[in-house]
Structure 1
Amino acid sequence: MQTWWKEEIVYQIYPKSFKDSNHDGIGDIQGIIEKLDYLETLGVTMLWVCPVYLSPMDDNGYDIANYYQIHPDFGTMEDMDELIQKAKEKNIKIIMDLVINHTSDEHAWFQEALKNPDSPYRQYYIFKEGVHHQPPTNWRSVFSGSVWEEVPDEENMYYFHSFSKKQPDLNWENPQMREDIYRMVNWWLEKGIAGFRVDAINFIKKDQSWQNGPVDGADGLSSCFEFTRNQPGIEVFFQELREKTFDVHQCMTVAEAVGVPYHQLDIFIGQKGCFSMMFDFNYSHIDITEHEEWFPIQNWTMQEYKDKLFLSQKEIFKTGWCGVFLENHDMQRSLNRLIREPKERTFQSAKALGQLFMFLKGTPFIYQGEEIGMINNHRLSIEDFDDLNSHAQYRRALQEGYNQEEALEFVNRRSRDNTRSPMSWNNQLYAGFGDVKPWLKNNEYYQEINVEKQENDPESVLSYYRQMIALRKNPLYQQTFVYGDFIPLDTEEYVIAYIRQDQHNKILCIHNLQNKTTSFSLENDSKILLSNDQVIINQQQIQLLPYQAIILQIV
């Protein structure tokens, strides 16, 4: 079925790191407005803006103290209204992050719950008595340590947090709490945003038996995932959320839901599902453990990655729709994740990876800096990291017996700060992000990898992203790229190839993800639509150069 949100091309902005307009070292809403021309020229049609709500910033805004206020670091509600309006004038929609599994511990609801145990707000969160003056269960939070935090000045009482102790989980079993959340969701949609990316939404239902799990770490704890993620009954909450908010406004929603088995997809997407689409992490998390630990380094092959990617395309579209992505604010840069050899992390391989994902079936999401081929930072000390999960993973690695050097290597490789370091706009001091020292150290490669250097270079990664987006939007091919079938092809390990096909076009997409030349057989004549290198075809054989990506229309 044709739907407007399937045709969007989304650009994710991490506001704190995008552009500083007011000389305080922190990116802001006016900084996004300042770069709307850049985004329009890139060709994207929608912006996903990470949280700008009032927050103590323990988890960089994913700990919300007031859903109805903008954090002063980012600007004002008037700035937000201006962004929505000015983006609309450029035919760019805005979606925001919706964080409703938890709030900040500084939210008025939680403060009241702490102050008065008899307050109705005590039931907005999960409070439980300890067992023999120990936490109620032995579950480990996502950010390590117990999921339970002792309540100050109350003996043997704990509150629950799946993530940071400053992010108490909301109690979705409480109907009044749910109504307050729905009121807030509708308030934002009535402001004119086009929808939401919904954060950690598969955590909102907990196993109500509150039993201990098997110890699986040196800390004596058990991963909380088996008890807090994708729990039976979550679909009841989803149905109500959809009916009372999303359906009313016919908005676009994309669920962040890690670890969802394919046979449960219909809870999330499709006719019965809550969301327009979801992200599938089954292939993107190939380099970390099932409990999302960054250690030890996971061994994986390109064939395994390709198999997981193709399986995702096969399974998702039996049920509904997905957003496809290379990078986001919770990951490392894709060149570091998918290209093993540092010397091969080049503009050529960045173009090849970008093309691989741009023409999959699904709505493409581009993360800021991806379009210029940004790569990971390399920090020399754990003190150089801001991200609280980086510090948590470092501590866990030490607990598990790794030394400081090894633990730092894990963090450098997978830290969320890799994609959160300020956007590299030019080669000047602070990379053009602002004119004062930024909140997080610039990427050290900014003098070589920046927007200004690529802006007018027809061979740059940025130029290639513009070409890819233009091709995807081209009226001759848009229907095929958005709605056409996805047909995977059986190729050698480091060649990923697939066909996008409908009644109008048959389009072949080939990607040689290795530093050597190989070949690919063509059965029919073809027309070149796009390539990141010269195309050599001899007697129906394409010679694929190292990291070459080609799109051909089969005629």
Structure 2
Amino acid sequence: MASTRWWKNEVVYQVYPRSFQDTNNDGIGDLNGITAHLDYLKNLGVTTIWVSPVYKSPMVDMGYDISDYQAIDPQFGTMADFDHLLAEAKKRGMKIIMDLVVNHTSDQHDWFQQALADPQSKYRDYYIFKHSDDGQVPNNWRSIFGGSTWTEVPSEPGTYYFHTFAPQQPDLNWENPVLREEIYTMINWWLAKGISGFRIDAITHLKKDLDWASIEPDGEDGLANVVKKGQNRPGLGAFLTELKAKTFDKYNAMTVGEAYGVPATDMPNFIGPDGYFSMIFDFSYFNIEVNNVDEWYRGRSNWQVKDLKQLLFESQRSIKTADGWTANVIENHDQSRAVSKWIKNPQYQTPLAAKALATMYYFLRGIPFIYQGQELGAKNFKRTNINQFNDLSSVNNYKMGLKLGMDPEQVLDLVNFKSRDNARVPMQWTGDQFGGFSDHEPWLAMGNDREAINVMDESKDENSVLNYYRKLNQMRQNERYQDVIVNGELEQLKTPDNVVGYQRLTDDQELVVFVNLGEETETINYTGNYELVLTNSREFISMKPEQLELRPYEAVVLFNQGK
């Protein structure tokens, strides 16, 4: 059954539960904390909440290492608390989607524990084990978190298990149909409970090359990146087709694939009218600020706005070709804050710039996703010691930089810039010591660049970033603009290098977006009779006939009815 695409006009807000709101004063956010702020999210204009993992987990990778798919981790509450959240969201006409992590489990999952305990059990084939007689690991693949993808089984010398990510995250063996059926049963259990769908983690890693052959090393460690043999490999489509047919299609679920590395030619299979998923995240422009996303400790890139534009519009063209949909994002739990990442000059890391970035992505074809705190214009932190970081990736990258002989201060600066902890600091509800997140010291230290960046202060300021996001969502739900925003074709406009410009078109409407991401005033020439319907700037220079001027980080949205 093809999807009805009921989700085309959703606005999704990603909650990182551990850092959203603590209601029992243990310093850790919980499910009841999400429930407590449903009215805030409703007022923001959110229609769907994506809840990052709350499953039982030892939290080696902050919940993306699941030890029980059908249990809530006690630090977040109980299954009754989840059911209460689901019910309260539905009362407000809001939907809940969850994270689905099925490339791997935790090494504490009962399946893996049984696989270790009894090599003859059926669970041994739920994972990937290889034996080597020469004392060497089976191949030279490097895990995404660094080091070999193989870890030796302590009780079985010469036997290794495979992990794309951390050693505590053994990969599931999707070649095993019995394992796949277990996964489908679990997914359908959640959908029957009443959630509306899933954001699906690391989904392009399910299929590995079964020759398990070593390949040409690509680093000083003699290893080669696992993505060359375990991402978007031939045969992946068969798994994804079966997954959809046996689960998502039965419930007309909304599904959002975290799909790194999907080539444009394969987009129709992923997000076309009968694609594997409702939409995917396109990360082609997401890591533009570093030279190599897999080795970001090596340094920042010298990207320019024209490079960002190129990637952004190439992405939009591939989506159009696929007749598909995308999840438009500028932040998530794995990225540093957009204002700090994409606004290079600290002088311009202002609310105006935060609103400019919001304008840039909000009117693209697809669905806008907001990550918690993004709507406030949250910024990166500054840590002075690697011991102050929780993020496993940050610590690993710091160690890799030191191994290469890089200056410790230089590596620490890069970790501060790129760390996933930037997005995971507690939500800033107030200007209090712990941001209104908790009365107890939080599990992760607060950000240290947060003056006036909080819900309480911004709610009172009609020109705040928060109220600008509310305006964006009001526009999306306004019948006057809804059709062109949701269904309009997208065309890039010719603009100066530092100006992002595009239009959305239907038969009788036109919406035009111009965003100056440079530090000089730019003149934009246009033709047509347009109404200024949104600007991020109180001091915006009035439009002249067929010409407008945009100062640094000013953005405008123009509208023409009956063109």
Shorter-chain TM-score bucket reads over 0.9
- % identical equivalent positions: 47
Displacement of 1:131: 5.2
Matches within 5 A, 1:67-466: 67-130=69-132, 132-290=134-292, 292-294=294-296, 295-319=298-322, 320-466=324-470
Structure 2 residue identity aligned to 1:332 = S
**Is structure 2 residue 487 aligned with structure 1 residue 483?**
yes
Q: Distance in 2 between matches of 1:265 and 1:290?
A: 23
Provide the residue aligned with 2:534 in structure 1. 530
Q: Distance in 2 between matches of 1:451 and 1:209?
A: 53
User: Deviation string for 1:451-478 (max 9, x for gaps)?
Assistant: 1110121010001000011001111111
Count of residue correspondences: 555
Q: Distance in 1 between matches of 2:470 and 2:511?
A: 19
Structure 2 residue identity aligned to 1:437 = E
User: Deviation string for 1:28-83 (max 9, x for gaps)?
Assistant: 00000111111011011000000000000000000000000000000000111111
Provide the residue aligned with 2:557 in structure 1. 551
Structure 2 residue identity aligned to 1:419 = A
Matched residue of 1:248: which SS? helix
Q: Is the 8 A contact 2:452 2:458 kept in 1?
A: no
Displacement of 1:546: 2.0
User: Deviation string for 1:313-361 (max 9, x for gaps)?
Assistant: 0111211211000100000101111111011000000001001111111
Q: Distance in 1 between matches of 2:474 and 2:534?
A: 11
Q: Is the 8 A contact 1:513 1:546 kept in 2?
A: yes
Moved more, 230-239 or 214-223: 214-223
User: Deviation string for 1:345-379 (max 9, x for gaps)?
Assistant: 00000001001111111011000000000010111
Q: Distance in 2 between matches of 1:442 and 1:222?
A: 37
Matched residue of 1:476: which SS? helix
Relative to structure 1, the CA distance from residue 553 to residue 291 in structure 2 (aligned partners, 3 Å threshold; closer, same or farther) is closer
Matched residue of 1:430: which SS? coil
Q: Is the 8 A contact 1:218 1:399 kept in 2?
A: no
Provide the residue aligned with 2:519 in structure 1. 515
Relative to structure 1, the CA distance from residue 507 to residue 400 in structure 2 (aligned partners, 3 Å threshold; closer, same or farther) is same
Q: Distance in 1 between matches of 2:109 and 2:152?
A: 18
Displacement of 1:289: 4.2
Displacement of 1:553: 0.8
Provide the residue aligned with 1:55 in structure 2. 57
Q: Distance in 1 between matches of 2:402 and 2:269?
A: 38
User: Deviation string for 1:510-544 (max 9, x for gaps)?
Assistant: 10112322211121121111111234112321121
Displacement of 1:163: 0.3
Where in structure 1 do 4 or more consecutive aligned residues deviate above 6 Å? none
Q: Is the 8 A contact 2:285 2:312 kept in 1?
A: yes
Matched residue of 1:432: which SS? coil
Displacement of 1:264: 1.7
Matched residue of 2:466: which SS? helix
Moved more, 489-498 or 130-139: 130-139
Moved more, 408-417 or 285-294: 285-294
Structure 2 residue identity aligned to 1:305 = L
Relative to structure 1, the CA distance from residue 235 to residue 209 in structure 2 (aligned partners, 3 Å threshold; closer, same or farther) is same
Matched residue of 1:431: which SS? coil
Q: Distance in 2 between matches of 1:440 and 1:447?
A: 18
Q: Distance in 2 between matches of 1:186 and 1:298?
A: 43
Q: Is the 8 A contact 1:225 1:291 kept in 2?
A: no
Displacement of 1:213: 1.8
Structure 2 residue identity aligned to 1:298 = S
Q: Distance in 2 between matches of 1:431 and 1:95?
A: 27
Q: Is the 8 A contact 2:198 2:254 kept in 1?
A: yes
Q: Distance in 2 between matches of 1:437 and 1:290?
A: 35
Displacement of 1:268: 1.8
User: Deviation string for 1:367-420 (max 9, x for gaps)?
Assistant: 000000001011101101000011111111122231211211111111000000
Q: Distance in 1 between matches of 2:73 and 2:475?
A: 38
Unaligned runs of 5+ in 1: none
Q: Is the 8 A contact 2:375 2:469 kept in 1?
A: yes
Moved more, 63-72 or 272-281: 272-281
Displacement of 1:288: 3.0
Structure 1 residue identity aligned to 2:520 = K
Structure 2 residue identity aligned to 1:185 = I
Provide the residue aligned with 2:508 in structure 1. 504
Matched residue of 2:479: which SS? coil
Provide the residue aligned with 1:5 in structure 2. 7
Structure 2 residue identity aligned to 1:431 = G
TM-score w.r.t. the length of structure 1 is 0.98
Matched residue of 2:504: which SS? strand
User: Deviation string for 1:185-204 (max 9, x for gaps)?
Assistant: 00000010000000000000
Provide the residue aligned with 2:547 in structure 1. 541
Q: Is the 8 A contact 1:95 1:193 kept in 2?
A: yes
Q: Distance in 2 between matches of 1:131 and 1:445?
A: 54
Q: Is the 8 A contact 1:431 1:446 kept in 2?
A: no
Relative to structure 1, the CA distance from residue 419 to residue 453 in structure 2 (aligned partners, 3 Å threshold; closer, same or farther) is same
User: Deviation string for 1:92-113 (max 9, x for gaps)?
Assistant: 1000000000000000000000
Q: Is the 8 A contact 1:426 1:447 kept in 2?
A: no
Q: Distance in 2 between matches of 1:291 and 1:60?
A: 20
Q: Distance in 1 between matches of 2:418 and 2:215?
A: 27
Relative to structure 1, the CA distance from residue 441 to residue 187 in structure 2 (aligned partners, 3 Å threshold; closer, same or farther) is same
Q: Distance in 1 between matches of 2:416 and 2:473?
A: 31
Relative to structure 1, the CA distance from residue 463 to residue 260 in structure 2 (aligned partners, 3 Å threshold; closer, same or farther) is same
Q: Is the 8 A contact 1:428 1:447 kept in 2?
A: no
Moved more, 395-404 or 321-330: 395-404
Matched residue of 2:472: which SS? helix
Matched residue of 1:472: which SS? helix
Q: Is the 8 A contact 1:431 1:447 kept in 2?
A: no
Displacement of 1:267: 3.1
